[in-house]
Amino acid sequence: MSTAARFLPLSLRARVGRVKSRALWPITGFGVPAPQHVKLNVLRRYGYAHGTWVETGTYLGDTTHVLAGQAAQVYTIEPSSFLAERARERFKNAANVEVCEGLSEQLLPAILEKLSGPVSFWLDGHASGGVTHSGPQVTPIREELTNIAQHLVAMPQVAVFVDDFRGFGQSHELDGAYPSRSFLVQWADSNGLGWTVEHDIFVAYR
Ligand SMILES: C[S@@+](CC[C@H](N)C(=O)[O-])C[C@H]1O[C@@H](n2cnc3c(N)ncnc32)[C@H](O)[C@@H]1O
């Protein structure tokens, strides 16, 4: 990061990053990671826009904000007190957004108990450097999927999005080892869900 960029507020830095990644995407041969607007299109295509959304990893709340524009309810989980506080402030007037401060592996079971109607999950909670939370484990994805599986029978309309598919089966400096890609495929198959991968997002749906 340039010295000048370091002095920009976090939200402005994120916006500059998004503009850059959008402009450079064709030059990368439309590689991964795709820019934000492309990822949002995947969520729109397979998700239940007007139902309930559960997001793990709020970060700056930019996806939360987009989802909240249509969703009946958005639960967004963030363990960093700094980021959770920012999100509470950002969404203080949004009646359909609940910011849940804590680890998704701990908070998700209670949220799952409350869900009804069409539900979409955006599973994106992991250490990402900078101000983001790290630990106590590499990634909560195993617990998240196990918890969701226990409630699938009560969710006839469900879509589960797992970001950063390219990182599964790899070791990360920040995150340690992720489960294999076939772990995600087997999870979907064993729960009777269809699946696909688009723009680095694993999508399980029915
Ligand atoms: C890639 S960012 C999320 C981006 C956001 N979902 C979006 O679409 O703009 C990852 C976030 O996950 C959070 N995080 C880290 N460990 C977590 C955990 N165990 N449970 C939930 N969130 C976690 C980080 O603090 C960080 O804010």
- Host domain of residue 8: 1-29
CA nearest neighbour of 120 among 50, 37, 62:
50
What band does 2 get if pLDDT is binned at 50, 70 and 90? low
Mutational pocket test of ligand 1: of 78, 99, 145, 166, the residue with most ligand atoms within 8 Å of the beta carbon: 78
Q: Tell me, what CATH number does 44's domain have?
A: 3.40.50.150
Question: What residue ranges line ligand 1, CB within 6 angstroms?
Answer: 55-59, 62-63, 77-80, 83, 103-105, 124-128, 132-133, 140
Would you say residue 110 has pLDDT above 90? yes
Shared-domain flag, residues 137 and 94: yes
What band does 11 get if pLDDT is binned at 50, 70 and 90? confident
Mutational pocket test of ligand 1: of 62, 74, 133, the residue with most ligand atoms within 8 Å of the beta carbon: 133
The residue whose CA is least distant from atom 7 of ligand 1 is 63
Shared-domain flag, residues 24 and 36: no
pTM over 0.85: yes
Shared-domain flag, residues 23 and 36: no
User: Per the structure, how many domains does the chain have?
Assistant: 2
Shared-domain flag, residues 128 and 140: yes
Which DSSP letter does residue 70 get? T
Which DSSP letter does residue 22 get? H
Shared-domain flag, residues 83 and 39: yes
Pairing, β 52-56 against β 119-123: parallel
pLDDT in tens, 170-204: 776 655 678 999 999 999 999 999 999 999 999 99
Shared-domain flag, residues 100 and 81: yes
- Rounded to 5 degrees, what are φ and ψ at 44? -65, -40
Shared-domain flag, residues 4 and 67: no
Shared-domain flag, residues 18 and 61: no
Shared-domain flag, residues 13 and 95: no
Shared-domain flag, residues 12 and 77: no
Shared-domain flag, residues 7 and 59: no
Q: Which atom of ligand 1 is nearest to the CA of 59?
A: 27
Residues in the chain: 206
The reported pLDDT for the residue numbered 146 is 98
Shared-domain flag, residues 167 and 128: yes
Burial class (CB in 10 A: 0-12, 13-18, 19+), 113: exposed
What band does 9 get if pLDDT is binned at 50, 70 and 90? confident
Contact status, residue 138 vs residue 177, Cβ threshold 8 Å: yes
The residue whose CA is least distant from atom 27 of ligand 1 is 59
